[in-house]
Structure 1
Amino acid sequence: MTAEAMSRKFNIDTVANAEATPGQDLPWAALGLTESEYRRIGEILGRRPTGAELAMYSVMWSEHCSYKSSKVHLRQFGDKVTDAMKEHLLVGIGENAGVVDIGDGWAVTFKVESHNHPSFVEPYQGAATGVGGIVRDIISMGARPVAVMDPLRFGAIDHPDTARLVHGIVAGIGGYGNSLGLPNIGGEVVFDAVYQGNPLVNALAVGVLRHEDIRLANASGTGNRVVLFGARTGGDGIGGASVLASESFDSSKPSKRPAVQVGDPFAEKVLIECCLELFKASVVEGIQDLGAAGISCATSELASNGDGGMHVELTNVLLRDPSLTPGEILMSESQERMMAVVTPENVTAFEAIMDRWAVEYSWLGEVTDTGRLIIEWDGETIVDVDPRTVAHDGPVYERPYHRPSWLDRVQADAFDAEQPTDLRAAVLELMASPNMCSKDWVTDQFDRYVQGNTALAMPDDAGVVRVDEETGLGVAISTDANGRYSYLDPYEGARLALAEAYRNVATSGAEPLAVSDCLNFGSPEDPEVMWQFAETVRGLADACQELGVPVTGGNVSLYNQTGGVAVHPTPVVGVLGVFDDVARRTPSGWREDGQAIYLLGTTKDELDGSEWANLHGHLGGRPPALDLAAEKTLAAILVNCSRDGMIDAAHDLSEGGLAAVLSEMALRFGVGARIGLDELCERDRIDAFTALFSESQGRAVVAVPRSEEVRYNDMCTARNYPTLRIGVVDTENEALDLQGYFNLPLDQLREAHQGTLPRHFG
């Protein structure tokens, strides 16, 4: 033993030392624990914790890992699930990701998570490792990852710091995802000053697997071996969960850059293939990815989910940095690592697969029947805990909350600005605005078609991936949120986010099946923020129950605020739908001359919280009214029309209203149209401005072949759903011609739509 190693051994805080030195001070506050939490740890253990135990509890009891402020509300997702909603659910909340049955023995696993704080501190690595982390969640379920998505929110487009974040985050997402060979099929890019100090970087991944390939994270079977494999453990990401992601930013505190993980996508690509071979050979009994909280999470969760205990020798961990202390090793969030449980008879087969893929591994210990998680350092016990107290039985807070005192005033301040006299100029202004402009500058940096199974991707309403080449079975996914709506009414805002994602999936032709969510909020210690969160969860749970789609899992990201300024409540909702055959998917743009253009739904004077109001500096009033029964009917019409060949294009109406949809449908394939608004205005008792810019819900525009108009109208009539023929596709006139109002050449519209992001970001 070297002098350095001997010195480290004799300075290790063992359990015996903890028992002998009850009064020794430990840095519990620096690790993100409160004084009451530190006292509770002592009560659980019957002594003071060791340094290593303190490290484990600090990361596993963090807001990011334990959901201690949110779980009392999140229980509604389980409480409000009906038996009918469970029909397709194979794995629900509580595992690394939910799993949904899509038929023919195939299953899909998907999940969305946040990497907000790391991405603000170190944009490239924060965003890149957000992709890597969510992909490993998918791998750990036994699935092959097939696609990713990235809902993003930045500050004001012209703020000096926005360019730093946009360039770094977009490059990180593209650099990692492209290197993995995963298509990026959708997401969002939103600019709003409220996100200036707290950009939101959410990442979704989807994977496919056969039913029999599902893997769960548990350590069962006394005598089974525990192995850590993948990249070596380094000093990056230490305290990421407890210190970086579980408190607000404060300029008075030291740099948090060391808490940001560093990713290697090529190592992860090898890890994916290695894991898939392990699954195929059936040589692992349980598996867990190492993301937030690292080894602390993997060991405690595997042991807690199992039927016994676990014994680990921490000195066996392969290190990139030999100076790391045991506590740092347990807290490190170094990327591209997995932990597995292997039976003794499969050890040789496991090692052969590791060697074939040149993946490093270290046998750390074994599953026991003690019910304890014992971790040793060079033969000395440094952790002796009940794993459930670390992983599952942490503190639960019922934070006080109340309705904000300012909300009545805000809701009473309805949008009542003077209408523009030049509708043509107004449409150009809208389509060039930061939130409605083309996002090609971002999405062109992502590979959308690698693997050859992408059937639709942005700018279409949903991303669509083929699962089975023989049958064409596939899935559609959309993520949506509107922070302005949620600011005005968090209950309705959550329901509106779900409705839009649900509608987008149906617009592509897929039947909506399941939900994953990423709930982004400010500090839970602020009673008004906590009320926003509670109302959001209530609204989302109620809406899921009404639409019949279960929440399969997700993420809560709190403390998204700086200097007391919280982000708008931003519940990002991802909806997954299924296709019998992706060949029948519906794109978002029309192409065929003479096809009839129909508007489904009713338009009302609903401009509060709209993009048009946002463009003119107003945020007040109430968000658009929502009728979920109507949304279900609309979705059924869209899915059946797509399946039966009645429509060739479809686009839902949401942000930007009809003006945005007509513009995007025309620009999708560069084909013009003639549109008439008079009959719509007369039917719905609105003016042309409201017809174009209202954000009323439950609406979609479809292009119907002339041969299918009778069938299409019969379907809408049978379901008593309003529809109106508002125009015709015109391939000879490369313009959006709103008859009686303006004629807008597509070249001018495209120039306005596509020029905004390159102008700001180069």
Structure 2
Amino acid sequence: MSLADSDRELVVEELGREPTPAEAALFENLWSEHCAYRSSRPLLSAFESEGENVVIGPGDDAAVVSLPGDDGTYVTMGIESHNHPSYVDPFDGAATGVGGIVRDTLSMGAYPIALADSLYFGEFDREHSKYLFEGVVEGISHYGNCIGVPTVAGSVDFHPDYEGNPLVNVACVGLTSEERLVTAEAQEPGNKLVLVGNATGRDGLGGASFASEDLSEDAETEDRPAVQVGDPYAEKLLIEANERLIEEGLIESARDLGAAGLGGASSELVAKGGLGAEIELERVHQREPNMNALEILLAESQERMCYEVAPENVERVREIAERFDLGCSVIGEVTAGNYVATFGDETVVDVDAEFLGEGAPMNNLESVEPEQPETDLPEVNLEEAFETVVSSPNTSSKRWVYRQYDHEVGVRTSVGPGDDAAIIAVREAEQGLAISSGAAPNWTDTAPYEGARAVALENATNVAAKGATPLAAVDCLNGGNPEKPEVYGAFEGIVDGLADMCATLETPVVGGNVSLYNDSTAGPIPPTPTLALVGAKDGYDAPPLSLAPEADAELLLVGDYGLESGAFDLGGSEYLARFDGSDAFPELPAEPAALVETIAEVADDDATHATHDVSHGGLAVSLAEMVTEEAGLEATLPVSHGEVAGALFHEQPGRVLIQTAEPAAVREAFDGVAPVVSLGTATDDGSLVLEADVGTELLETDAGTIDELRSTIGDELA
């Protein structure tokens, strides 16, 4: 760890002296890209974060929104990345990512009810990618299962440019209320600062600065000390202890110990309240001998919370911590002065807390707008194309992943992983909370701005297909080295694209995370804007994804403008990725907000038998996913034989398949909003037959063959 010369000059000017070693390390971590957002903060004002249901927006450990029509129930939302740690140590890196975002939820006085993981790796056929993939999934499943929080949604993508730098993005949703709500803003001088949880060790030292630099060739060995080690059983005890502390009203403010450890959490807590602190570092309960001040201050040991507690409540907090077998240290108190940390008789830190947290200068970086792709379309046999795209690791079944997660724990999961969106029962409000999370590297690699707009629309369509109306979103903006103009230009594109579409959908982006310097000797990652979006609906039921075998029900395709015009743009599609082609990215619907709203209304109609979003892999993959042994499909595409590849494999977002007993009513609902095309009816033999409307049979297969094609990941890793 070392403070940059230009930053040191600012610190010396502010302090009127050279910083102590502990101060220099603290500034280096808290002024890092990971904590201070020095390259991205100037761009983040593009996001609309206010709305009638927004209670707390960006800036706290997690955002808080109220459910529509319910004054008493609040939902918390947070998302974070653990990218570099998961490359160095995939199991612990991913596991501690889960632990960190869960503690962010606890900080708001909320109880965690659901997790979503969005994961990105190099090409699946690379052994190193498989090693990272297996380790990350094992880490998430171990930690989430042990703490009893279900992982219900997410995504997995493979792309060659993640080979040297995978991404692990984890979101958490929690429940709280106005009476229980706590923030990370210190309230009053004289209140005590109490550290509750695991003892402090030397793991994770310099984690914030490690996350703010490119991965080196030797990162897996050299940077291992910067990766934290998790203990999910201690986290489970911390969850339950936190619940008791909140229920008894013992907490004035809270912050979990994540980036920059105790120094980061405690200084940010008091700075947010315009206050200071006096901390005695030797009081911190430790698990390793002879720790020095800097180690105690900056270690990122897991499963720890910093609470502001009124003096008269300290003893009760200690009793509850002891009941749950957790360590408890009164480490200092809130003051009206500077942020001061002592170690024995020595003052190791004495700085203004606000300058420490907000004084980092912003970067002024060059950007270059990405070039648009040229059109270079492959000629591929249709049967080969279908088999290749349906069996691609990006579009095939992710059952191997989510079957390792206990997505039923907590008995709130109404719709689990494997569908367009998960639904969690919020019985306190008699509402269902739909959750969708993910990005689309092929889309944003092809066209950062339009691809990011499409990512937002895709997640909104996912929740709408299950009958929910978008409520709010959080984002995890992942990019490469921002000092490279072409990388920063692409990053600007995904920020603006995501912000524009969320604003169009009137879905506030209430919080998030930025992860830059995802660059390695293999090069930068694709710009990756993960969006975790929640929607609300009355009740907990939703139409299934699979077809029902009712012969009188019609399967309609909604929103496909290419079928109207006969022109298809294939840019960003899995089809072109598999066959080395390129093309322009497809245009998005002109009225996406009305489209999403209408999809949600129709999905909730009693005449609707099944719904499924059309996205990655195009119509071919979505139709294959709807077919079962009990219900097949005879479908006719309204295209000539020569346009079939475009019709089946283009990935224009905002499309949905609806199986309905009242097709005329669906057409009326979408009149003036989006085109509606009838594809055919279900059969009872489990077959999938595709024809062109010129009378040509294009493809015939069956559910058994499709299942074999879609089992790529599970078969390879079995």
**TM-score class normalised by the smaller sequence:** over 0.9
What residue in structure 1 maps to residue 653 of structure 2? Answer: 697
Shift of 1:561: 1.0
What is the alpha-carbon distance in structure 1 between the residues aligned to residue 158 and residue 686 of structure 2? 30
Contact 1:596 1:703 in 2 (8 A): yes
Deviations 1:477-527 (A, max 9, x none): 111212222222211121111111111111111100111111111101111
What is the alpha-carbon distance in structure 1 between the residues aligned to residue 218 and residue 430 of structure 2? 56
Tell me the C-alpha RMSD between the 2 structures: 1.7
Tell me whether 349-358 or 447-456 shows the greater mean CA deviation. Answer: 349-358
The share of aligned pairs that are identical, in percent, is 39
What is the alpha-carbon distance in structure 1 between the residues aligned to residue 544 and residue 67 of structure 2? 22
What residue in structure 1 maps to residue 344 of structure 2? Answer: 378
Contact 2:2 2:24 in 1 (8 A): no
What is the alpha-carbon distance in structure 2 between the residues aligned to residue 367 and residue 431 of structure 1? 58
How many residues of Structure 1 are paired with residues of Structure 2 in the alignment? 704
Q: Are residues 1:52 and 2:18 paired?
A: no
Contact 2:466 2:604 in 1 (8 A): no
Contact 1:221 1:307 in 2 (8 A): no
What residue in structure 2 maps to residue 681 of structure 1? Answer: 639
Contact 2:549 2:630 in 1 (8 A): no
What is the alpha-carbon distance in structure 2 between the residues aligned to residue 745 and residue 564 of structure 1? 41
What residue in structure 1 maps to residue 686 of structure 2? Answer: 734
Give the AA of the match of 1:634: L
What residue in structure 2 maps to residue 506 of structure 1? Answer: 464
Residue in structure 2 matching 1:591, options 545, 548, 553: 548
Contact 1:415 1:607 in 2 (8 A): no
What residue in structure 1 maps to residue 360 of structure 2? Answer: 394
Give the AA of the match of 2:414: A
Give the AA of the match of 1:91: I
Residue in structure 2 matching 1:174, options 137, 141, 144: 141
Contact 1:646 1:711 in 2 (8 A): no
Contact 1:503 1:631 in 2 (8 A): no
What is the alpha-carbon distance in structure 1 between the residues aligned to residue 183 and residue 250 of structure 2? 14
Tell me whether 181-190 or 113-122 shows the greater mean CA deviation. Answer: 181-190
What residue in structure 1 maps to residue 575 of structure 2? Answer: 612
What is the alpha-carbon distance in structure 1 between the residues aligned to residue 635 and residue 682 of structure 2? 9
Give the AA of the match of 1:507: A
What is the alpha-carbon distance in structure 1 between the residues aligned to residue 369 and residue 586 of structure 2? 20
Specify the SS of the correspondent of 2:710: helix
Deviations 1:352-380 (A, max 9, x none): 2222222210001111122x111111132
Give the AA of the match of 1:102: L
Contact 1:607 1:694 in 2 (8 A): yes
Change (3 A) 1:252 1:454: closer
Shift of 1:670: 5.0
Residue in structure 2 matching 1:432, options 369, 372, 391: 391
Shift of 1:686: 7.2
Deviations 1:395-429 (A, max 9, x none): 2112122235xx25xx2x21311142xx3443222
Deviations 1:155-212 (A, max 9, x none): 1111121121112111001000011111111111111111000011111111111222
What residue in structure 1 maps to residue 245 of structure 2? Answer: 278
Q: Are residues 1:65 and 2:35 paired?
A: yes
Describe how 1:486-635 pairs up with structure 2 within 5 A.
486-563=444-521, 565-583=523-541, 585-594=542-551, 595-601=553-559, 602-603=561-562, 604-618=567-581, 620-627=582-589, 629-635=590-596
Contact 1:157 1:760 in 2 (8 A): no
What is the alpha-carbon distance in structure 1 between the residues aligned to residue 275 and residue 393 of structure 2? 54
Deviations 1:637-696 (A, max 9, x none): 2211133323121111111111010001114x752111111xx227xx972222211212
Give the AA of the match of 1:200: L
What is the alpha-carbon distance in structure 2 between the residues aligned to residue 133 and residue 582 of structure 1? 29
Residue in structure 1 matching 2:104, options 137, 148, 164: 137
Q: Are residues 1:225 and 2:192 paired?
A: yes
What residue in structure 1 maps to residue 599 of structure 2? Answer: 638
What is the alpha-carbon distance in structure 2 between the residues aligned to residue 649 and residue 631 of structure 1? 21
Change (3 A) 1:392 1:648: farther
Give the AA of the match of 1:108: V
What is the alpha-carbon distance in structure 2 between the residues aligned to residue 323 and residue 341 of structure 1? 27
What is the alpha-carbon distance in structure 2 between the residues aligned to residue 695 and residue 163 of structure 1? 27
Give the AA of the match of 2:453: R
Shift of 1:32: 4.5
Shift of 1:283: 0.5
Residue in structure 2 matching 1:100, options 51, 65, 84: 65
Shift of 1:340: 0.4
Instruction: Show structure 2 runs of 5+ residues with no match.
Output: 692-696
Specify the SS of the correspondent of 2:591: helix
Specify the SS of the correspondent of 1:681: coil
Give the AA of the match of 1:725: S
Specify the SS of the correspondent of 2:667: helix
Deviations 1:432-479 (A, max 9, x none): 11111111111111111111111112210011101116x531211111
Give the AA of the match of 1:446: Y
What is the alpha-carbon distance in structure 1 between the residues aligned to residue 505 and residue 248 of structure 2? 40
Specify the SS of the correspondent of 2:659: strand
Contact 1:633 1:721 in 2 (8 A): no
Specify the SS of the correspondent of 1:138: helix
What is the alpha-carbon distance in structure 2 between the residues aligned to residue 213 and residue 674 of structure 1? 54
What is the alpha-carbon distance in structure 2 between the residues aligned to residue 748 and residue 37 of structure 1? 61
Shift of 1:252: 6.0
Q: Are residues 1:716 and 2:709 paired?
A: no
Describe how 1:303-322 pairs up with structure 2 within 5 A.
303-322=270-289
- In the superposition, the TM-score normalised over structure 1's length comes to 0.90
What is the alpha-carbon distance in structure 2 between the residues aligned to residue 652 and residue 32 of structure 1? 49
What residue in structure 2 maps to residue 22 of structure 1? Answer: none
What is the alpha-carbon distance in structure 1 between the residues aligned to residue 26 and residue 233 of structure 2? 29
Residue in structure 1 matching 2:419, options 435, 460, 483: 460
What is the alpha-carbon distance in structure 1 between the residues aligned to residue 422 and residue 264 of structure 2? 32
What residue in structure 2 maps to residue 89 of structure 1? Answer: 54
Give the AA of the match of 1:671: A
Shift of 1:725: 1.6
Instruction: Show structure 1 runs of 5+ residues with no match.
Output: 1-30
Give the AA of the match of 2:579: H
Give the AA of the match of 1:735: S
Describe how 1:246-261 pairs up with structure 2 within 5 A.
246-251=212-217, 255-261=222-228
Specify the SS of the correspondent of 2:217: coil
What residue in structure 1 maps to residue 610 of structure 2? Answer: 649
Describe how 1:145-294 pairs up with structure 2 within 5 A.
145-242=112-209, 244-251=210-217, 255-294=222-261
What residue in structure 2 maps to residue 14 of structure 1? Answer: none
Shift of 1:287: 0.4
What residue in structure 1 maps to residue 625 of structure 2? Answer: 664
